[in-house]
Every structure is written in C-alpha cells, then in structure tokens.
Amino acid sequence: MPSVTATTRTRLTPAERREQLLGLGVRLLADRSLDELSIDLLAEEAGISRGLLYHYFGNKTAFHEAVVRHAADDLIAQTAPPAGGEPLDRLLVSVAAYVDYVTANFEGYVSLVRGAAGGNETLRGIYEEVREVLSERIFLEDAQGELVHDTPRNRLVVRGWAAMCEELVIAWRTDPGEVSRDELLGIITGALPALVDAVAPRR
C-alpha cells in the first residue's frame, strides 16, 4: 500500500478521458452548484492534474458548457417521444418521461437548470435550446393541431407553459404533498389546452 500519493499516471485515449471527465462533472453537480465545481476539485476527484482539464476543455467556462451540453443531450434523448402510437399519446409518454427523469436525477437536474439559467450567454443558450426542443415536440407531434395550432401567440403560450411545468415538477418533487405522480401529470397535460383556450383571441 503506497503512502499517500501513488503517482502512476494512467494514459487514456482522448475520447475516454473526455467521457470520464464529463461524466464525473455531471455526477459532481448533484452535490454542488455549477460554480462551486472548481477545476481543483474536479482534478482531484478524477485523479489528474489541473493542467489536463485545460488541455481538454481550454478553460473553466468551456468545461462547464461541455458538462451542461452533455447533460442536456442526455435529457433530450431520455425524453424522446416513442416511435409508434397516437400523436397525443406520444406526447403524454414524453411528458411522463420528463417528469420521471427529473424525479430520478433531481439534485443534478436542479443544479444544471439553475447553473445554466443563471450562467453566461452560451450556458443560457443551451438551456433555451432544451426548452425549445421540448416545446417543439408539441407542434411536431401534434401536426394536425388537435391540441395547439402553430401560431406565434400559441408559441408564446407553450413557452410559458414549459416554464410552468419546470416549476411545478421541481416544486412537486421537493414536496409532493398529497399529489400523486399521475395527478401531477394530469395537471400538466390539462393545463396546456386550458391555457390555449383561455388565450385564444376572441372573434
């Protein structure tokens, strides 16, 4: 058993190392905020020198951006609507997948969202992009407009609805109270058509 520092540097392929560091970055976010994720901490946790992180990511913010992008891609992939079935059912499944994803990865998800929403231009861009993708599915899956016609006004409404969903899921997961998962899903999915109707320009 070596004393304190067993300095046998291990050499990975760039792809492997990148993957390791990004994965570790995402994992560490469960316990810390994005800007508490210092280069020092990550280097120590990964068992590498600080310099190596700069070799791979250039600087701290670029690393943060890479981590957020990594997690964002993961979220988007995990909540993709299923291939078959009725359009509206596919949406339901996708929304449910979103709720379950947040439930399962709560700390990391919250940390990510807060870090990205409060971060620099690029970070917010990624955050916006995720919302955009999730919202876009509404119009993409519901091509006939059974639920929501694709109008500029309704785009705004869906945007607001998405913000509401994020808040609701986080609030619910923090304290479910007496509301079950299915009831939450009911609230979320019921809210969209209600909003669309309420906001429809009167003729």
Which residues of the shown chain bind DNA in the complex (CB under 7 A)? Answer: 7-14, 17, 38-40, 47-52, 54-55, 58-61
Strand, coil or helix: what is 203?
coil
Q: CA-to-CA distance for 98 and 87, rounded, in angstroms?
A: 17
48: left (phi over 0), alpha (psi -120 to 50) or beta: beta
Minimum separation from the CB atom of position 121 to DNA (A): 15
Angle between helix axes 39-46 and 50-57 (nearest 10 degrees) is 110
Q: Which is nearer to its own copies, 145 or 190 (CB)?
A: 190
Positions touching its own copies (CB under 8 A) are 33-35, 114-115, 117-120, 124, 152-153, 156-157, 159-168, 171-172, 177-179, 187, 190-191, 193-195, 197-199
Q: What residue 67 binds from its own copies, DNA, none (CB within 5 to 8 A, per partner kind)?
A: none
Q: What residue 115 binds from its own copies, DNA, none (CB within 5 to 8 A, per partner kind)?
A: its own copies
Q: What residue 45 binds from its own copies, DNA, none (CB within 5 to 8 A, per partner kind)?
A: none
Given a contact cutoff of 8 angstroms between Cβ atoms, the answer to whether 86 and 147 are in contact is: no
Q: CA-to-CA distance for 12 and 10, rounded, in angstroms?
A: 6
